[in-house]
Amino acid sequence: MAILVYAEHDNAELKKATLSTVTAATQMGDDVHVLVAGSGCKPVAEQAAKVAGVSKVICVDSPAYEYQLAENVSLLVKDLAGDYSHIVAPATTNGKNFMPRVAALLDVSMITDVMQVIDANTFERPIYAGNALATVKTSEDKVLVTVRTTAFDAAAAEGGSASIEELDNAQDAGKSSFVGEELAKSDRPELTSAEIVVSGGRALANGENFTKYIEPLADKLGAAIGASRAAVDAGYVPNDMQVGQTGKIVAPSLYIAAGISGAIQHLAGMKDSKVIVAINNDPEAPIATVADYFLEADLFDALPELTSKL
Amino acid sequence: MKALVAVKRVIDYNVKVRVKADNSGVDLSNTKMSINPFCEIAVEEAVRLKEAGVVDEVIVASIGPKEAQEQIRAALALGADRGILVQTDEKAYPLQVAKILKGIAEQEGTDVILLGKQAIDDDNNQTGQMLAALMGIGQGTFASEVKVEGDKVNVTREIDGGLQTVALPLPAVITTDLRLNEPRYAKLPNIMKAKKKPLDEKTPADFGVEMVSKQEIVKVTPPAERSAGVKVGSVDELIDKLKNEAKVL
């Protein structure tokens, strides 16, 4: 049977998280279909049809799916589930929100945050904040998983030529309604998909120092900006910039941690980065145990110097 | 209005976990156990709703071994009114836990059901959503703000990229994110009083649930160690290493 991938998008653009999810899905079976549910989401379906490895795109366009409310989306996915052996979604807040709901509606268990596909029924996933890896095998008829997008390469966004099927299936469960949203504006690359991430911690001391010291370096490198929980809790930066077990999980090729001690909760969010650089005036900071390059220095001197010399 | 809060007994978040040598799991013998931090936030929110006069009674439920009583007592010391322990020595998977919680919520007729967004041992992030689905009610996951207004609740949720607010008719399930509140500490007199608060003991069978899952953990391994890094003496050396050795710039 085929595999259904739930597309992450904002009704205009297909998110990169979807491409990584397609890669994970192709490791579970051959026939990969993508479900694009949204409102005015046809451009997204067209982008999804071009993704390499996708054989069919199902586009469901209805105001009921505009904000991806879990109550509505889960009913739609449940309706489609009959034709699929696997249902796969990215482990974004959206995927984590509706997928367990689908699982319960189908009365099956599910697997969160898969990092490796061992076979169609066996997966590796992190537990205890990434301090252990569990190999999990499921014998459910329907395999439901969310995948950690940073653990899979993105499928090519061009080269595919899937057919698009428009489906009329508007489900409004009437159990929730959208009131409003506040999205942080940023011109920088998205944190979870950026090649380089520059993160600041409590040592930055205030929000202005993020602007003064972290931003110029990030701009120079074309990097996304992250933060430790301490910096977020202290109000230096908004919480969608938090990297860690309870924030975003990132795995860029270069992660620069400035003034971050490296608590377990933070390491869980970034220790799969290819190269980690730590700039810290405390050589005993736990971040030193995971850093490839450790510069013992005052970040208020080192960051401007680094920015000017690059 | 009644509130139900689910709490899980987990390894304390400060403890560095060790994987057992036979790869059967994580070594939990003689380790400090606590209430899962997200569950503590859920208890705090329920108690605040009670203090605000929105909720009359806060019921705390835990599904797990006999020792999970300690976590229920800890929640009672924070201000919950009574506890229910559903005792089982089997591993509790989210779907089975959700089915038991549904049984409790229906038996007690609770209007607000609070859970943590995830437990820090299995990191599943599923139980609240599954419970809402089984009960056919709305869910407000990753909540950073909860406002009950009459027979509905507005929940502000932490989503990728910012915040989203949804309105849910009651009863509803809410799962807590870190920033929802700062849990209080239990005061000694309250810890003493908590010992006298009622605590019912039940079994999964009382709710018609079997603790078997079609999911199985085959093995648990430690993550790959990162190779030891090097100290660099200057910014110039750092740039040189990144360019020529790591080749990431």
- For position A246, what pLDDT does the model report? 80
Q: Within chain B, which residues score under 50 in pLDDT?
A: none
Of chain B residues 67-106, which have a CB less than 8 A from chain A? 93-95, 98
Please indicate whether, in this complex, the C-beta atoms of A138 and B216 are within 8 angstroms of each other.
yes
Distance from CA of A54 to the nearest CA of B (A): 25
Q: Which of B129, B154, B222 sits opposite A100 (nearest CB)?
A: B129
Structure tokens at B124: 């599943």
Q: Using CB atoms, which residue from A99, A105, A293 is nearest to B230?
A: A293
**Has residue A180 got a pLDDT over 80?**
yes
pLDDT at A186 over 80: no
Q: Mean pLDDT across the stretch A122-149?
A: 96
Q: Which of residues 101-120 of A touch B (CB under 8 A)?
A: 101-105, 107-113
Strand pairing class (A293-296; A275-280): parallel
Whole-number pLDDT of residue A183: 86
Whole-angstrom Cα distance, residue A53 to residue B20?
Answer: 40
CB within 8 Å of chain A, chain B residues 170-199: 172, 177-179
Q: List CB contacts (< 8 A) between B154 and chain A.
A: 179
Is B238's CB within 8 Å of A293's CB? yes
Name the residue ranges covered by the structural domains of chain A: 3-166, 196-309
Topology of the domain covering A3-166: Rossmann fold (3.40.50)
Asked if residue A244 belongs to a known ligand binding site, the reply is yes
Half-sphere exposure of A238 (CA within 13 A, CB side): 13
pLDDT at B218: 97
Average model confidence (pLDDT) across chain A: 95
What pLDDT sits at residue A301? 96
- Measure B232 CA to nearest chain A CA, in Å: 5
Per the CB < 8 A criterion, the answer to whether B13 and B183 are in contact is no
pLDDT at residue A185 above 80?
no
- pLDDT score at B160: 86
Alpha-carbon span B175 to B142, nearest angstrom = 6
Task: List B121's β-bridge partners, or say none.
Answer: none
Beta-carbon contacts below 8 Å between A and B: 241
Provide mean pLDDT across the span A23-33: 96
Which CATH number applies to A196-309? Answer: 3.40.50.1220
Domain ranges of chain B: 2-218
Distances (CA, A) of A259 to A76, A203, A205, A229, A230: 46, 5, 9, 12, 11
* Nearest-CB residue to B122 (from A67, A127, A240): A127
Among chain A residues, CA nearest to B234: A295
Identical fold, A3-166 and A196-309:
yes
Specify the pLDDT at position A220: 95
- ipTM of this complex: 0.94
Q: Do B16 and A291 touch (CB under 8 A)?
A: no
Interface of B with A in 30-59 (CB under 8 A): none
Chain B residues 117-146 with CB within 8 Å of chain A = 120-134, 136-142, 144
Contact between chains at B242 and A277 (C-beta distance less than 8 A): yes
pLDDT (mean) for A128-156: 95
A 4-63 → B contacts, CB under 8 A: none
To which H or E segment does residue A168 belong? none
Looking at residue B32, its pLDDT comes to 96
pLDDT single digits (tens) B44-64: 999 999 999 999 999 999 999
Sheet of A2-6, strand order: A110-114, A143-147, A84-90, A2-6, A32-38, A54-61, A163-167
Q: How confident is the model at residue A150 (pLDDT cuts 50, 70, 90)?
A: confident
pLDDT value at residue B226: 83
B chain contacts of residue A297, beta-carbon cutoff 8 Å: 235
Q: Does A234 touch chain B (CB under 8 A)?
A: no
Q: How far apart are CA A275 and CA A196, in angstroms?
A: 10
CATH, domain B2-218, list 3.40.50.620, 3.40.50.1820, 3.10.580.10, 3.10.180.10 = 3.40.50.620
Are B139 and A302 an interchain contact pair (Cβ–Cβ within 8 Å)? no
**B212 interfaces chain A, CB cutoff of 8 Å:** no
B220/A124 Cα distance (integer angstroms): 9
pLDDT digits (tens, 9 = 90+) for A259-269: 999 998 899 89
**For residue A154, how many C-alpha atoms fall within 13 Å in the half-sphere facing its CB?**
17
Note whether B161 contacts A: Cβ–Cβ < 8 A: yes
